[in-house]
A and B are shown apart, each in its own frame.
Chain A
Amino acid sequence: MSDTDERPPERSGGKTRRRILGTIGAGGLATAAAVFGRSAPAFAGNYGCCNLAFTPGSSRYIGWSSCTSYRLCPNCLGKYIWYCSKSPSMDCGCCELYSGNYNWQYSGATCYYA
């Protein structure tokens, strides 16, 4: 092989081919996202098996201990505490504090292995 061999100059269609392949690849990724992006119907609830008014991340989600002890809502009229079975091996406790007309004020939950 000669030391003076050089790579042939890139033909002008090279960029076009790369663009086409890139478009095909992007389209494939978008298709995959569309197919796998759909979530199957789930019954996990927004915290374990609890269907809470306020989820973790909300300022009104105060956690199980605070919810069950009323600590952050001295003016709440009442609380609703119930336990649910998420799976054969896991249960959850669900807590809601409410004011008049059963307006939810705070939520809390905990999950544990049964």
Chain B
Amino acid sequence: MMYLFGFVLLLLTGAVVVLFAMLGELSSRVTPGSGGSPEDVRPLLDVPVGRAPERWPGPLAELAGAEQAVALVLSTACTSCAKVAGQLRDQPELVAGQHIGVVISTADRQRGDEFVAQHGLARLPSYVDEQGEWVVREFGINTSPSALVFQRGRLVSAFVFTDAAALRAAAHPAKEAV
């Protein structure tokens, strides 16, 4: 009787272990950030709204003349930036039909170039910004992942975000006239 009880107990324990394992596998297979949530996007308040940069880096020049464009600011020191870069690479629909460029803030150009290559960002207009010099000087931005929304070359809004899909949903309504 005791052995039967022990066997049944062991069987139940195994079933519980397998159940949790299945739940864990299911959870790990769900694409992270699929859809995102509004909480994943926060507005940046202390930004020079209405400012047009004195100089657009060459790779980002096409953003200057676009009716609406977004510059994503990532950093090589930021792992949440690596996540966003992975989303841009794996979900091209997030950037389809958009004027989107990527600014990679980094301590040195080599690390920036490696980041671009590692995450497949070369297919987007991308600029390696050593020391974040351009974004800091022009907009006072030293946080990533962040997004700068431009209309006809002027900054209209800026956000900090942790999910690219959530950012896309939040950035589209930004149509304030400058």
- A and B form one complex: yes
Binding site for B on A (CB under 8 A): 17, 21, 24-25, 28, 31-32, 35-36, 40-41, 43-46, 49-52, 78, 80-88, 91, 94, 96, 98, 102, 114
A46 to B142, CA, bound (A): 20
Tell me, rounded to whole Å, the shortest Cβ–Cβ distance linking A104 to chain B.
8
Contacts of B20 in A (CB 8 A): 36
Interface residues on B, range: 35 or more
Binding site for A on B (CB under 8 A): 3, 6, 10, 13-14, 17, 20-21, 24, 27-28, 32, 39-40, 42, 75-83, 105-108, 110-111, 131-132, 142-146, 160-162
Is A49 a contact partner of B80 (Cβ separation < 8 A)? yes
Among B21, B39, B107, B144, the residue within 8 A (CB) of A35 is B21
Among B3, B42, B105, the residue within 8 A (CB) of A17 is B3
B27, B39, B106, B160, most chain A CB atoms within 10 A: B160
Is B40 a contact partner of A88 (Cβ separation < 8 A)? yes
| A102 and B107 in contact, given A35-B17, A83-B143, A84-B81 (Cβ under 8 angstroms) | yes
A25 to B14, CA, bound (A): 10
| A24 and B10 in contact, given A82-B75, A84-B77, A85-B80 (Cβ under 8 angstroms) | yes
Tell me, rounded to whole Å, the shortest Cβ–Cβ distance linking A78 to chain B.
8
Among A32, A44, A81, A98, the residue within 8 A (CB) of B142 is A81
A50 to B80, CA, bound (A): 8
Other than the given A32-B17, A84-B77, 20 more pairs (CB < 8 A) read A21-B6, A21-B10, A32-B21, A41-B32, A49-B80, A51-B77, A52-B77, A80-B107, A82-B78, A82-B105, A82-B144, A84-B79, A85-B80, A85-B144, A85-B161, A86-B162, A88-B39, A91-B143, A102-B107, A114-B42
